[in-house]
Amino acid sequence: MGPVSATAGPAASPDLALMPAGAPRRGGRPALSRLFRAVRSSRKATAGTVLLVIFILVALFPGVIAHDPPNASIYPRALGPSAQHLLGTTALGQDIFAQAIFGTRQVLIIAIGVGLFSTAVAVLIGVAAAYLGGLWDGSLGLLTDVLLVIPLFPLLIVIATYVQNAGTAVLVLVLTLTGWSYTARQLRAQALSLRHRDFLEAARVRGERRLYIILVEIIPTMTSLIVASFMTNALYAVLFGSSLQFIGLGDPNTVSWGTMLYWAENNEALQTGQYLWAIVPGVLIVTLGAAFALINYAFDEIGNPALRPVRGRRGRRGRLPAVARPAPAAAGPATADLATAQSPAAGQLTGPGGAILEVRDLTVTYAMERGTVTAVDRVSLDVAPGEFVGIVGESGCGKSTLLFAIAQLLAGPAAITGGSVVFKGRSLVGLTDTQLAAVRWKDLSVVMQSAMNALNPVKSIGAQFKDAMRAHGVSSRQEIADRSAEVLKMVGIDSAHLKSHPHQLSGGMRQRAMIAMAMLFTPDLVIMDEPTSALDVVAQRSLMVQIKELQQQYGFAVIFVTHDMSLVSHFSDRLLVMYAGQVAELGATREVFDSPLHPYTAGLMEAFPSIRGPRVELSGIPGTPPDLSRPPAGCRFAPRCPRATTRCAADRPELYQIGATQVRCLLHEHGRNSGIADPDLTGPQGVSSD
């Protein structure tokens, strides 16, 4: 049997998964409607469903399509195709077309029967073994393993020999008893991943019975996998059931595609030129199997939207489509004592000493069913050697997407659709995986957000260091051992922990180990995606001090994404504030903190408590970020901005240069706070902006 292709995730697609216990249930019609929309949105599911529906209609109404009796030997033998006999007749004088049509019913009965019964047995045994554990898991697991190691087809032949010439019911029973083990193993593995989830613990605490938890709490979260198991078992029944009938272990007097092949072989159809007698049932078996397989693969995509194919994301031959850009707003003269406004901003993108990384107008889009979502919109940034650049913003503003685009780690449905990323004079966009592998880690390394997920749980820290070094041509065992111990010592971890596995380290030590791995080749740029998010305050501070000391000692540049304003205020040289996929403000960290220009930046500062100043009430930022599939026509922050004007809702601001700081706000279009004095700028309720 082939592998179950449904994604083994903890929850199925919203289109398919049942509601959890205690949640309001929707009626059957909305659920069926959601399922219909999900199937219709997938080409594989649509093609498979259409084929399956055709076969079902043929099985239900065979007499409407074929008017000749399938087993009656009343016609001249071995006739070729004609208007009266579309596919000709057999060597026994039977109509081939009628046999193919009437044989569909038994094949579908076997397929659906085995699919239902095998899946039911697999669900009960697999889920029960995983949830109950102990002796139950051992006994049921042993039974499953025994069936898995026995060669399946020889076992079927042995069993079928004892029930030779058996009817359809016996064939369904035999295939069910031998076909549930593989899908049971898949379902058990998925149920084990759910066993200690909080919602199951809550069900146990409130006194629910084990059977209730299995049937109501666990099984509904595995809907996608269960449907895929049914499709896999049905496909298995079509292929193996027809194979048993072909070798004569079914009832040869029944009409099915397998018995057609049996009689064609016995009468040497291929040798005597009666090709259609042997070819037609084979083609029908393959077509029905393809229908089940297509639906099976489609449910994988329905259950996991990340696997859905994205169409129209790139132009022909992989070229990036042109990115539509709004016309820049008209720029007026700046006051004499203020920096000249520029639109879009130019210059002052780099720190001192030139740039090691140059990002220009970088645009990243996600192709979704509801439309294209621009997660990063024309972001430009330069990073100088040895510079520490912090990136802050609310969740979903595009910070992590920007980092992954810089490191060329984006996965579908995300894609770079505009702009450039130049690292040490070389464009990274469009490089092959082999070319990128030569750059990553030696010159540019990445520290992921969650060290526990980024480190391989079944390999020791030292083994993972060794793999990274061997991937870049270091083969000497002594050199690998020395360097691994050296980088661990850099981050304050004893080299004895090279033999430790990730689960044996604390959260702070795991994160330090990730940083040590990133330092194996002393890269020129280290990209860090919220490396302190899972740590307590003391561990965060200690880790950041360690990072800053390493940066100052070895001179590498850092791009650091975080939600913690206190961290970037103490450790970063420059600060980039992102909002809704765009740069809201970019400048020296101290200047941005002391004199924020963008109202969003000011709102972030006001939401950040001070431990030294007087006690004040934190105001926060009202509202929520915009839907990036339908962003506002003007300024994206306007609906939440306390200083929004009528122009803000209509005109899209560019980045304006104010001294050494860039800001995307119409209030500074002609210089610092120049918009406040503009009599045409009034608030939405007609109140002056200031």
Of the listed ranges 58-67, 223-232, 609-618, the least confidently predicted one is 609-618
Residue 56 has pLDDT above 90, yes or no: yes
Of the listed ranges 140-144, 523-527, 653-657, the least confidently predicted one is 140-144
Bridge partners for 364 per DSSP:
376, 416
pLDDT at res. 10: 36
Distance CA 627, CA 375 (A): 10
Bridge partners for 560 per DSSP:
390, 528
pLDDT at res. 45: 80
Distance CA 383, CA 177 (A): 64
Print burial letters for 588-621: b (CB count within 10 Å at least 16), e (below 16).
Answer: bbebbbeebbbbbbbbbeeeeeeeeeeeeeeeeb
Q: pLDDT band at residue 32, thresholds of 50, 70 and 90?
A: low
Distance CA 182, CA 148 (A): 7
> How many CA within 13 A on the CB side of residue 190?
30
* CATH code at 330-351+573-690: 3.40.50.300
Bridge partners for 558 per DSSP:
388, 526
pLDDT at res. 683: 42
Distance CA 214, CA 506 (A): 34
Q: pLDDT band at residue 35, thresholds of 50, 70 and 90?
A: low
The domain 46-66+91-307 is placed in CATH, from the list 2.60.200.20, 1.20.1740.10, 1.10.3720.10, 3.90.79.10, at 1.10.3720.10
Model confidence pLDDT, tens digit, residues 603-653: 888 776 665 666 666 667 888 888 888 888 899 998 889 888 888 988 889
pLDDT at res. 167: 73
pLDDT at res. 135: 82
Residue 690 has pLDDT above 60, yes or no: no
Distance CA 470, CA 463 (A): 10
Residue 373, Cβ neighbours under 10 Å: how many?
18
Between residues 316 and 78, the one the model is more confident about = 78
> Residues 37-59: what's their mean pLDDT?
84
Distance CA 587, CA 322 (A): 29
> Residues 494-523: what's their mean pLDDT?
86
Of the listed ranges 44-48, 223-227, 344-348, the least confidently predicted one is 344-348
Q: pLDDT band at residue 377, thresholds of 50, 70 and 90?
A: very high
Which whole-number Å values give the CA distances from 134 to 130, 138, 141, 300, 690, in the listed order? Answer: 9, 6, 10, 31, 70
Q: Return the structure tokens found at 532.
A: 């302190």
pLDDT at res. 71: 80
Residue 37 has pLDDT above 70, yes or no: no
Model confidence pLDDT, tens digit, residues 413-451: 888 999 999 999 889 998 888 888 888 888 888 888 766
Residue limits of CATH 3.40.50.300 in the chain: 330-351+573-690, 354-531
pLDDT at res. 21: 35
Arithmetic mean of pLDDT over the chain? 78
pTM above 0.85? no
Residue type, 525: L
Q: pLDDT band at residue 182, thresholds of 50, 70 and 90?
A: confident
Q: List the 414-423 sheet strands across, edge first.
A: 371-383, 357-368, 414-423, 426-427
Q: pLDDT band at residue 536, thresholds of 50, 70 and 90?
A: confident
Model confidence pLDDT, tens digit, residues 454-490: 777 778 889 888 888 888 888 888 999 999 999 888 8
Highest mean pLDDT among 89-103, 189-203, 519-533: 89-103
Length of the chain: 690
Report the percentage of the chain scoring pLDDT > 90.
19
Domain covering 354-531, topology: Rossmann fold (3.40.50)
Residue 233 has pLDDT above 50, yes or no: yes
> Residues 217-234: what's their mean pLDDT?
83
Model confidence pLDDT, tens digit, residues 300-338: 665 555 555 555 444 433 344 443 333 433 333 333 332
CB-neighbour burial class of residue 513 (10 A; exposed 0-12, middle 13-18, buried 19+): buried
**CA-based angle 31:36:37, to the nearest 5?**
100
pLDDT at res. 681: 45
Of the listed ranges 105-114, 365-374, 649-658, the least confidently predicted one is 365-374
Residue 169 has pLDDT above 70, yes or no: yes
Print burial letters for 34-66: b (CB count within 10 Å at least 16), e (below 16).
Answer: ebeebbeebebbeebbebbeebeebbeebeeeb
Q: pLDDT band at residue 363, thresholds of 50, 70 and 90?
A: very high
Residue 4 has pLDDT above 70, yes or no: no
> Residues 347-367: what's their mean pLDDT?
74
Q: pLDDT band at residue 297, thresholds of 50, 70 and 90?
A: confident
